[in-house]
């Protein structure tokens, strides 16, 4: 019995070191503050699920890339999308696209995923926050994190026209996005 306890503890410790368990909600190294006119949204990034995507989001955040970018596509009951400097849904950053890092993590309310074109390996800078559970996205888009505080703020993001694929006229924007470790 004692040996099994040590074995289980050893396996658990090994999994923790390998990064295959979810990040703690107080892991400031992988936390992003996304400020809007209505308040702050705190996103816990998940490098255990998508290390390349998380690294790209962190790099762009440190560069100030997301500051002032609009939520160009917001569909009530589905998701709020941002991260395109052109505000059209067709733009991205100067960094290379990222190969898909699909996981079994479900797209539930508050989850954050990377937007992409029809090619699974086309994610770059755009991401979306789920307004509701949406299982049809599971395993088809990369989960990069989840909102751990401020879902009420997410709900206040201006919604787009349902008849125009969620296109938002006079959209809300990211006032400032920063890593928790860099927050002032």
pLDDT in tens, 50-77: 999 999 999 999 999 999 999 999 999 9
Which residues of the chain are modeled with pLDDT < 70?
A: 1-25
Cβ neighbours of residue 104 closer than 8 Å, sequence gap 6 or more: 138, 139
Residue 5 falls within a domain, yes or no? no
The pLDDT assigned to 24 comes to: 62
Contact 65, 84 (CB under 8 A): no
The CATH number of the domain holding residue 100 is 2.40.100.10
Q: How many domains does the chain have?
A: 1
Residue 9 falls within a domain, yes or no? no
The whole model's pTM is what?
0.87
The pLDDT assigned to 23 comes to: 55
Q: Which domain holds residue 84?
A: 23-182
């Amino acid at each position: 019995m004692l040996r099994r306890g040590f074995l289980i503890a050893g396996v658990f410790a090994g999994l923790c070191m390998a990064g295959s368990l979810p990040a703690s909600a107080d892991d400031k190294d992988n936390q992003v503050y996304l400020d809007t006119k209505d308040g702050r949204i705190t996103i816990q990034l998940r490098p255990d699920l998508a290390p390349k995507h998380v690294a790209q989001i962190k790099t762009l955040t440190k560069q100030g890339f997301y500051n002032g970018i609009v939520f160009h596509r917001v569909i009530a009951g589905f998701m709020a999308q941002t991260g395109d400097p052109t505000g059209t849904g067709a733009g991205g950053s100067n960094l290379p696209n990222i190969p898909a890092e699909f996981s079994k993590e479900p797209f539930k309310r508050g989850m954050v995923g990377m937007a992409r074109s029809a090619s699974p390996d086309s994610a770059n800078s755009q991401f979306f926050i789920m307004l509701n559970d949406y299982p049809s996205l599971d395993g088809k888009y990369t989960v990069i994190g989840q909102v751990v505080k401020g879902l009420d703020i997410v709900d206040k993001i201006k919604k787009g026209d349902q008849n125009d694929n969620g296109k938002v006229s006079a959209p809300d924007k990211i006032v400032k996005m920063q890593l928790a470790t860099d927050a002032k």
